[in-house]
Amino acid sequence: MTTLRHIFDVNAARIVPTRESRKNVRFSALSPAERENLLSSYHPDYKAGAYREIRAGANKGGRTVSELADLLESDSPLDPGMSLVPDHTTDLLVIGGGGAGCTAALIAHRLGIRAMIATKLRLGDSNTVMAEGGVQAAVGEDDSPVEHFKDAVRGGHHKNDRNLLRVLVEDGPEAMLWLCEQGVLFDREPDGRLRVKPGG
C-alpha cells in the first residue's frame, strides 16, 4: 500500500540530491511560439483559439481572450435612439450593494444626502455576506490598535502601506461598534461579548 510516508520518502530521494544544482539553473524567457507549444503539449486546460487578435477599436492589433475580443468588437446593446431623460436623479449614486456600498449609502443618508444604490442582482448579494472567517479589528481585551499594527506589519513582511494600515487599525474597533449598532450578527460568547480569536 502506498502511504503518505512512502510518497514523502520517494519525493525526498528525488528532490534532495539535485537541490543544489537546480538552485543555479537559470531559465530564459520563452518565445511566444515556444510558450504556445509548451502549453498545448502539457497544460490540461489548454484550449486552442482561446486568445485572438482584436480587429477593431482602440486596442486593435492586441491579443486577448476570444470572449473579450467578441465583446469589444460587438455593437453596443444600448438602443441609439433611447431617451436621455433620466428615470431617476440622486445626489449620490453608489454602484454595488455589498458591505462597502451599503455603508456608504447609509452614512450618506444619515448626513442628509439623497443616496441611491444601483447593484447587480439583489441587495446584499455580494462577497460580504459570504465572509465568515472573521474581521481583523482590535476588540479583544488584551489587544490594541498598536498590537494590531505590529502584527500586520510582521504579517505583511514590512511591505504594508503604513498610512493605510494606521487607518485600518485605528478605525477597526469603531467600525465594529458601528456594525454591531446596525444589527450585524457576529458570533458571540454566551455572556454576549464578541467571539475573538487570533488572526492569521
Ligand X SMILES: Cc1cc2nc3c(=O)[nH]c(=O)nc-3n(C[C@H](O)[C@H](O)[C@H](O)COP(=O)(O)OP(=O)(O)OC[C@H]3O[C@@H](n4cnc5c(N)ncnc54)[C@H](O)[C@@H]3O)c2cc1C
Cα–Cα distance between 116 and 87 in angstroms, integer? Answer: 12
Query: CB-side exposure of 131: number of CA atoms within 13 Å?
Result: 12
User: 10 Å Cβ neighbour count for 160?
Assistant: 16
List 36, 59, 106, 134, residue binding ligand X (CB under 6 A) = 134
When asked if residue 119 is in the footprint of ligand X (CB under 6 A), the reply is: yes
**Residue 132 binds to ligand X (criterion: CB under 6 A):** yes
Which range in 7-15, 73-81, 95-103, 104-112 contacts ligand X by CB under 6 A?
95-103
Instruction: State the nearest-atom distance from the C-beta of 178 to ligand X, in Å.
Output: 15
CB contact set of 56 (below 8 Å; sequence gap of 6+):
72, 73
> CA 45 → CA 6, 41, 51, distances in Å?
30, 11, 13
Q: Minimum distance from CB of 116 to ligand X (Å)?
A: 12
Stretch that binds ligand X, among 7-15, 39-47, 80-88, 125-133 (CB under 6 A): 125-133
Give Dmax over CA atoms of the chain in angstroms. 73
111 versus 130: smaller Cβ distance to ligand X: 130
Distance CA 19, CA 87 (A): 66
Determine if 90 is a binding residue for ligand X (CB under 6 A): no
121 near ligand X, judged by CB under 6 A = yes
Give the x/- contact pattern for ligand X in 39-78, rule: CB under 6 A. ----------------------------------------
CB–CB of 172/137 below 8 Å?
A: yes
| 120 near ligand X, judged by CB under 6 A | yes
